[in-house]
């Protein structure tokens, strides 16, 4: 493990206390490209692969653990991903306080902490308050993507998403996922070696702020959606 000393977060890692409320993505990235967000970046494997492969999209990571935030920021920097930023913050707080309405094209949540003990279930991220924020911050037609290895958590996630203003659709594998992978994060690779099953779900925000139009849903391995959605609130 690299020590904190070896990790350089600038210019990718941001100090949450210096950020304006609400954020202006165009000012932050210096362009009006669509913005995708990952919650719980861990070491930043997904964000780095995506940011490297898709320079026409901006990527923003939220990570609570200080060392992981530093590691992911340093890794993005080493890979020259100037279309990425990462902040150390608690996700629900950050969404509520900093993220503008209708401003994200995709919200990615991969292997969220499952809090498996019954008395800790209330700490799980994906519950109604989080979904209300997802509905608020996605652009019309924007997508939420979730993968977990935890069946009990998934059995809570699926009905909660279905009860929200999002419409469940077919899950799209990101292009950076390797053969047979759902998404290709560190946790997926580790859990795959252990032979665990995976559960994936995608949902879309409708054009009229309500349910999406797509009719299908699944746990399969479709092609990556070609997301060309623009942030609705960009004023350069």
Ligand X SMILES: C[S@@+](CC[C@H](N)C(=O)[O-])C[C@H]1O[C@@H](n2cnc3c(N)ncnc32)[C@H](O)[C@@H]1O
How big is the chain, counted in residues? 236
* Contact with ligand X (CB under 6 A) among 19, 22, 28, 64: 64
CB of residue 104 to ligand X, shortest distance in Å: 16
* Contact with ligand X (CB under 6 A) among 34, 40, 61, 100: 40
Decide whether 42 or 174 has the Cβ nearer to ligand X: 42
Q: What is the DSSP string of 105-174?
A: EEEEEES-----SGGGGGG-S-SHHHHHHHHHHEEEEEEEEEEES-HHHHHHHHHHHHTSSEEEE--B--
* 63 forms part of the interface with ligand X (CB under 6 A): yes
* 23 forms part of the interface with ligand X (CB under 6 A): no
Whether the CB-CB separation of 147 and 183 falls below 8 Å is answered with: yes
Question: Which residues in the 69-128 window bind ligand X by CB under 6 A?
Answer: 90-91, 110-111, 113, 125
* Contact with ligand X (CB under 6 A) among 68, 154, 171, 199: 68
Q: Which range binds ligand X by CB under 6 A, 133-141, 180-188, 209-217, 221-229?
A: 180-188
Cα gap 99→117, rounded to integer Å? 31
Number of residues that bind ligand X (CB under 6 A): 18
* Contact with ligand X (CB under 6 A) among 79, 121, 186, 233: 186
Is 113 assigned a catalytic role? yes
Active site residues: 113
What are the residues binding ligand X (CB under 6 A)?
39-40, 42, 62-65, 68, 90-91, 110-111, 113, 125, 185-188
């Amino acid at each position: 493990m690299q020590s904190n000393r070896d990790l350089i977060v600038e210019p990718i890692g941001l100090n949450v206390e210096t950020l304006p409320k609400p954020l202006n993505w165009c000012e932050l990235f210096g362009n009006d490209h669509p913005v995708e967000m990952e919650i719980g970046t861990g070491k930043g494997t997904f964000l780095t692969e995506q940011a490297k492969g898709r320079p026409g999209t901006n990527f923003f990571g939220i990570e609570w653990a200080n060392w992981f935030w530093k590691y992911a920021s340093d890794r993005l920097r080493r890979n020259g991903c100037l279309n990425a930023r990462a902040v150390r913050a608690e996700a629900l707080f950050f969404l509520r306080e900093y993220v503008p309405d209708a401003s994200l094209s995709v919200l990615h949540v991969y292997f969220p902490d499952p809090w498996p003990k019954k008395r800790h279930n209330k700490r799980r991220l994906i519950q109604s308050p989080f979904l209300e924020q997802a509905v608020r911050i996605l652009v019309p037609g924007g997508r939420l993507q979730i993968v977990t290895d935890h069946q009990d958590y998934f059995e809570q996630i699926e009905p909660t998403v279905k009860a929200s203003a999002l419409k469940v659709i077919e899950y799209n594998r990101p292009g950076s996922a390797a053969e047979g992978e759902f998404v290709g994060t560190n946790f997926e690779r580790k859990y795959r070696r252990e032979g665990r099953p995976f559960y994936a779900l995608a949902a879309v925000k409708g054009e009229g702020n309500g349910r999406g139009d797509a009719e299908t849903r699944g746990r399969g391995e479709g092609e990556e959606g070609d997301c060309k959605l623009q942030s609705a609130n960009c004023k350069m």
